[in-house]
Every structure is written in structure tokens, then in C-alpha cells.
Homo-oligomer: A and B are copies of this chain.
Amino acid sequence: SKLSVVGAGAVGTSLAYAALIRGAASEVALMDINEKKVRAEALDMAHGSQFLPPAKIEGSDDVAVTANSDIVVIAAGAKQQPGETRMDLAEKTVSLMKKIVPGLVEQSPEAVFMLVTNPVDVTTQAVLKISGLPDGQVFGSGTVLDSSRLRWLVAQECDVAMSNVHAYICGEHGDSEIPLWSTSTIGGVPLRQWEEQTGQLSFQRRKEIAERVVGAAYEVIEGKGATNYAIGLAGTRIIQAVLRDEHLVLPVSSMLHNWHGISGVCMSVPQIVGREGVIKPLELPVSAQELVGLQNSADHIRTVAASLGF
């Protein structure tokens, strides 16, 4: 199977590196407009081939390098600058997508397209339209990363393995995202009971955790100028769910049609992901308050998308 990564920046290369170490694909192509850089990145990974599962690795500024991909990850774009909101990036990103997406679709009309470039929800919505592909074939990495951050914070607080924390943060991958505490469980124990039994995860603490998740990207960017490692791992996990047709539930960003009444916007809710891309959403119950939050988040994305003509 072939994975193409468009945009060989901090995010794209960390993702390709993780995917190669995991053996997620037998062919990995990097594409970037910066020819020297993309060749060097591919070469640097190929130099480590002795320590990787077998895979063909290529890098080029020619879109043909992505031909016949099974999955195309788009991480091209500008780094989020300290202070800049994800939405600020919207306009430049959308023009970039108009330029690159048609060529990518031409090279790999059957591929699943995963957007990573921010603002990921608006970008996904734009690319869905630009590409003319069916809904399920185009989606964004969405809040898979944010949910991982949430679970890590909860696991630390409760001193249990991360795989025992089941919690989603949904909506916009950005400031308006909403943790869905009402259906969260720890080892099967609903959050409310966990709080009663242990005193952990009080209302106040949950608020702090949610704020830390929302602020996480800023916190990391402030310290190192980018976030790349966690998104590389989250992206690789989504890629595996697609290429192995796992039917795995992941909060990716895709076009909603009456999900708890929310329609006509790309944002993250728990979706079943497999070989064809997004298969269908889960009808996860949400509290009234969570629903209001998600509606606000949807409105926010919709407004930005509309202002950009999508």
C-alpha cells in the first residue's frame, strides 16, 4: 500500500517517520514545493532503512511522485506562528488547497485524503468541494490528537493506563472544541461515579483539563515553535485504521448530515473509519450542554468557511 505525504515540514516528516517505523505502508512518497528539502528529507529517512521494516521511500517536488496512492495526507502549509489563531491561517491555506488538490486527485482518484493543515475543519470542507470527491473520501485528522491529549491528562490524574481512558473531545480542532464528559469512562466506570468514588476529576479539575487540552498546541508551539510528534503519531494511527480497514471509531473531521441536528459542516465527531475513509458517524449521546457547545463550534467553522466561499 502507498502513503503520500504532501508537505514535508515538521508535521509531514514526523508523520512519515512514524509511519515508516510502524511499517504502516510499503511505499511512502513525500511531496513538497521545496525540492531540495523534500529530497533531503526522503534521503535522511532512506539512510535509516537498515533499521526500518522494508519500504520504498521517495521525495520529490513533482506531484507525480504521489501517483496511485492509497492514502494522501496533506500537511502542506505554514507553521502556526506564536500568537496566531488557527483561523487566521484559513485564507492562505484555502488558496494553497485550490492550487494543489486537483493535481493530487488526478494522480490518485481512488485515494482517501486526510487533511492535517490548519485550520483543519475549514480546510477539509474546502478540499471536499475543490476535489469533487464523495464525503467519506475526504476528512481531517480533527480532534484525534486533542482526544489523545485529553486522555493523557485524565490517565495521569487517575493513575490508570491510557488505554483505559475513553473520552472524546469533539467539534472544531481549535478553541471552541468540547470535551464529551457525559459519555467518558475510565476502565468502564462512568466519569460521574469515578468522581464520587475517588474525588478525582471534579467539575473544577475537568474544566482545567479541558483548558489545558485547548491550550496544548499553544503551549507546545510557544516552547518549540511547532507541534509535530504527537500529530505524527495520531496521523499514523488514522492511516493504519484506513489501510487495514479497521472500522475504528476516531473523532475525525468530516461533513456532517444531521448529527444531533448538525449539518453541512466538517467537524469532528466519533466516526467509523476504514478502507473507504469515513464510513459513518456514531450517534454518541450528548448532554444538552455539550450539544450547545458543539453547535457553537459548528457555527464558528461554518462562519469562517462561508467567509471563504465554502
Contacts and interface: CB of A to CB of B under 8 A. Distances in A.
Given A44-B230, A232-B48, A283-B193, A249 B166 contact: no
Interface string A155-169: 100011111101010
Contacts of A284: 187-189
B166 A229 contact: no
A234 interface: yes
Given A37-B223, A219-B43, A283-B197, A249 B49 contact: no
A96 interface: no
A264 interface: no
Q: Please state the number of chain copies in the assembly.
A: 4
A185 interface: yes
A176 to B, nearest CB: 20
A148 interface: yes
Given A41-B224, A47-B152, A52 B233 contact: yes
Interface in A176-217: 180, 183-190, 193, 197, 216
A166 to B, nearest CB: 6
Query: Which range holds the interface residue count of chain A?
Result: 35 or more
Given A17-B18, A48-B232, A188-B270, A220 B161 contact: no
A258 interface: no
- If over half of A's interface residues share one DSSP class (helix, strand or loop), that class is named, otherwise mixed; here it is helix
Contact of A160 (B17, B221, B236, B247): B247
Nearest to A158: B247
A193 to B, nearest CB: 6
Interface string A50-81: 11111000000000000000000000000000
A168 to B, nearest CB: 6
Given A188-B282, A284-B188, A54 B183 contact: no
A51 B246 CA distance: 14
B164 A223 contact: no
A49 B187 contact: no
24 contacts: A13-B229, A17-B18, A17-B232, A26-B244, A44-B228, A44-B229, A45-B230, A46-B152, A47-B145, A47-B152, A48-B145, A48-B148, A48-B233, A50-B147, A54-B244, A161-B247, A164-B248, A166-B166, A184-B188, A185-B185, A187-B272, A187-B282, A190-B285, A193-B283
